[in-house]
Amino acid sequence: MEAWVKNLPIQELDRVMWKDVPGDRLVILLDDGVKREVLWVWHKHKEEGHRGRDETVQQINQHYFWPQARPWVEQYIKGCAMCQQNKNLMHKPHTPLYKITVPENVPPFTQIVMDLITGLPKSQGFDSILMIVDYRCSRGAIFLPCQLTITGPQITQLYY
Round to whole Å and give the CA distance between 146 and 152: 12
Question: pLDDT tens for residues 129-149?
Answer: 999 988 777 678 899 999 999
Question: pLDDT tens for residues 63-75?
Answer: 777 778 888 888 8
Strands 112-117 and 64-65: unpaired
Question: How much is the pTM?
Answer: 0.41
- Domains of the chain, earliest start first: 3-86 (1.10.340.70), 112-159 (no CATH)
Strands 16-21 and 64-65: unpaired
Helix axes 53-63, 32-40, angle to 10 degrees: 120
Least confident of 16-30, 39-53, 63-77, 91-105: 16-30
Round to whole Å and give the CA distance between 150 and 158: 10
